[in-house]
């Protein structure tokens, strides 16, 4: 058993969290991760309305008795999101852990803290992690440059970002980005993290509610198969490098400012969700994936994955590292 302040704080068996994932973070996956002893997370904005989130929380409760969280991604959107109402549903439904990402969750901290909801803010820089601590977050998840989704614009990978954050923060730090096996967990703990947050690795599991082709493509892909789009818009996103991603990059590579209206039909979330994640055409829309694809060789259940990661990390700590110590 690996015990840390994160396992204690969240009331979970293993220090493994499944990060919020648009279109993937549904009850099936979150409950499977929580049943495996980690922390599953529902993605609030995958639910079209706050009332749908309420129903999804109820559905997840039917599938697990263990704690699970909700991700609230605070990013600018084309259609305004009724964030206050999502926050109220989270509180009303007795959710005890929220993962926020994107903008600072400052304006919701009072409501969350008054309701006893622990906020884990996921961010990509030490300065944002310090801000999260200052506004009362219970932990900071640090997303290194390896991560799927939005790595920020600083491009600092976790081998440096994580210990930099750990040195400066008092609240527990969770390592996010690039972790997919027990080696990653052991390394993150060695660097000072008290838990890991994984996205990409959990997509290639039996319970992830996405088409099998997507999972299989991740098995067949390597660490070289992602692309960084939206760099020209300073809203970088790491996605799977398919022909749509390449088309986006070539539009962004044209001289002058990028015209988002040219990109929109290619990158529309609904297109990625329907054509890739639901219908399984992995080349016909954008989908988020991280460098850790290079470490994905199978499609296990969440229970198999979580127990394998923990066993491998324990073995590394107990045997491999111990055996390297020279005693006088």
Ligand X SMILES: Cc1cc2nc3c(=O)[nH]c(=O)nc-3n(C[C@H](O)[C@H](O)[C@H](O)COP(=O)(O)O)c2cc1C
Q: How far is the CB of 255 from ligand X (least distance, A)?
A: 31
> Which residues, in sequence order, are CB contacts of 187 under 8 Å at separation 6+?
none
Instruction: State the Cα–Cα distance between residues 203 and 186, nearest whole angstrom.
Output: 21
Candidate residues 137, 289, 296, 305; the one interacting with ligand X per rule CB under 6 A: 289
Q: At what angle do helices 83-92 and 50-63 cross, to 10 degrees?
A: 30
Candidate residues 13, 56, 133, 146; the one interacting with ligand X per rule CB under 6 A: 146
Cβ burial, residue 281 (10 Å; 0-12/13-18/19+): middle
Select the span of 49-57, 147-155, 159-167, 295-303 touching ligand X (CB under 6 A): 147-155
Is position 175 an interface residue for ligand X (rule: CB under 6 A)?
no
Q: How far is the CB of 325 from ligand X (least distance, A)?
A: 30
The dihedral of CA 123, 50, 233, 285: what is its sign? positive
The residue among 265, 292, 312, 301 whose CA lies nearest residue 29 is 301
DSSP state, residue 275: I
Select the span of 1-9, 56-64, 88-96, 286-294 touching ligand X (CB under 6 A): 286-294
The smaller minimum CB distance to ligand X, of residues 157 and 325, is found at: 157
Select the span of 84-92, 185-193, 254-262, 284-292 touching ligand X (CB under 6 A): 284-292
Is position 172 an interface residue for ligand X (rule: CB under 6 A)?
no
Candidate residues 118, 121, 122, 275; the one interacting with ligand X per rule CB under 6 A: 122
Site for ligand X in 16-75 (CB under 6 A): 19-22, 24, 43, 71, 73
Is position 147 an interface residue for ligand X (rule: CB under 6 A)?
yes
The dihedral of CA 151, 177, 89, 107: what is its sign? negative
Select the span of 52-60, 157-165, 245-253, 288-296 touching ligand X (CB under 6 A): 288-296
Candidate residues 69, 149, 172, 285; the one interacting with ligand X per rule CB under 6 A: 149
Cβ burial, residue 322 (10 Å; 0-12/13-18/19+): exposed
Of all residues in this chain, which one has the CB nearest to ligand X in the complex?
Answer: 199
Helices (runs of H) and strands (runs of E) counted in the chain: 15, 10
Task: Kindly list the distances between the CA atom of residue 285 and the CA atoms of 8, 96, 279, in Å, as whole numbers in the listed order.
Answer: 40, 35, 11
How many residues bind to ligand X according to rule CB under 6 A? 29
Select the span of 199-207, 224-232, 310-318, 319-327 touching ligand X (CB under 6 A): 199-207
> Which residues, in sequence order, are CB contacts of 249 under 8 Å at separation 6+?
227, 229
Binding site for ligand X (CB under 6 A): 19-22, 24, 43, 71, 73, 101, 122, 143, 146-149, 176-179, 197-201, 203, 288-290, 292
């Amino acid at each position: 058993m690996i015990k840390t302040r994160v396992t204690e704080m969240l009331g979970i068996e293993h220090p493994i969290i499944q990060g919020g994932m648009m279109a993937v973070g549904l009850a099936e996956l979150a409950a499977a991760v929580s049943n495996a002893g980690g922390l599953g997370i529902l993605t609030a904005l995958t639910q079209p309305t706050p009332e749908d989130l309420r129903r999804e929380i109820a559905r997840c409760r039917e599938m697990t008795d263990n704690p699970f969280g909700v991700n609230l991604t605070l990013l600018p959107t084309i259609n305004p999101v009724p964030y206050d109402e999502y926050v109220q549903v989270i509180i009303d439904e007795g959710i005890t852990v929220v993962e926020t990402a994107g903008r600072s969750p400052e304006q919701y901290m009072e409501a969350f803290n008054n309701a006893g909801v622990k906020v884990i803010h996921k961010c990509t820089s030490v300065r944002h992690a310090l801000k999260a601590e200052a506004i009362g977050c219970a932990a900071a998840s640090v997303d290194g440059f390896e991560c799927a989704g939005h790595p920020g614009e600083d491009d600092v990978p976790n081998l440096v970002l994580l210990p930099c954050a750990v040195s400066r923060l008092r609240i527990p730090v969770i390592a996010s980005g690039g972790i997919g096996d027990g080696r990653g967990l052991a390394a993150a703990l060695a660097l000072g993290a008290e838990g890991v947050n994984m996205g990409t690795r959990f997509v290639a599991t039996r319970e992830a509610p996405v088409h099998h082709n997507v999972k299989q493509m991740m098995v067949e892909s390597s660490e070289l198969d992602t692309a960084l789009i939206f760099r020209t818009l300073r809203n970088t996103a790491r996605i799977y490098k398919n022909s749509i991603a390449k088309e986006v990059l070539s539009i962004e590579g044209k001289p002058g400012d990028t015209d988002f209206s040219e990109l929109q039909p290619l990158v529309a979330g609904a297109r990625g969700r329907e054509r890739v994640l639901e219908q399984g055409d992995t080349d016909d829309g954008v989908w988020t994936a991280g460098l850790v694809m290079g470490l994905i060789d199978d499609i296990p259940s969440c229970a198999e994955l979580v127990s394998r990661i923990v066993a491998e990390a324990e073995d590394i700590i107990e045997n491999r590292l111990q055996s390297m110590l020279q005693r006088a």
